[in-house]
Amino acid sequence: MRALIQRVTGAAVRVEGAVIGEIGPGLLILICAMQGDTEAQADKLAAKIAKLRIFEDDAGKMNRSVLDTQGAALVVSQFTLAADTSRGNRPGFSTAAPPADGERLYEYFAAQVQAQGVPVATGRFGADMKVSLVNDGPITIWMDTEA
């Protein structure tokens, strides 16, 4: 699985103009299931992200997790994280999981982040979403279970 994590002071996702998921301080997690990904990879990634120390402590060092700060996570599916730009000018997405697998793993991943103790809001798989956020730092981290 691939994830792009952004530390945010707030984030929201809209579908057809209506807010369907919104958080205050925490993490915006853009997530993509790749071909061959499993629930075990989603478990590992969810646990890692929940404990990732990218929030500042009292000394100003990134030493606290979203759990430590009692933040939340907005989890949004984004198959374009599978983009292959190695040939030509049009990205290919053939390495992304098929839609049924992608949706199942997306929902499973969001549930696993919540099971770690992080309040979770979500987008809508396959929808045309508008995501707004205020990146705090800015802090943006790329994670890949294959790396």
Could you tell me the CATH number of the domain that includes residue 50? Answer: 3.50.80.10
Which candidate, 56, 7, 22, 38, places its Cα nearest to that of 131? 22
Give the mean pLDDT of the chain: 97
78 is catalytic: yes
Out of 6, 79, 112, 122, the active site residue is 79
Residue 113 lies in a domain: yes
Q: Give the residues across from 27 on adjacent strands.
A: 7, 73
Residue 40 lies in a domain: yes
80 is catalytic: yes
Per-residue confidence band for 111, with pLDDT thresholds at 50, 70 and 90: very high
Residue 123 lies in a domain: yes
Residue 144 lies in a domain: no
Q: 64-101 pLDDT, tens per residue?
A: 999 999 999 999 999 999 999 999 999 999 999 999 99
Q: 18-33 pLDDT, tens per residue?
A: 999 999 999 999 999 9
Out of 78, 112, 114, 122, the active site residue is 78
* For residue 25, cis peptide bond before it (omega within 30 degrees of 0): no
Residue position matching structure tokens 């209506």: 18
109 is catalytic: no
Structural domain including 20 reads 2-137
Report the b/e string of 49-67 with b at 16+ CB within 10 A. Answer: bbebebbbeeeeeeebbbe
Average pLDDT of the residues in 4-31: 98
Residue 143 lies in a domain: no
Report the number of distinct structural domains present in the chain: 1
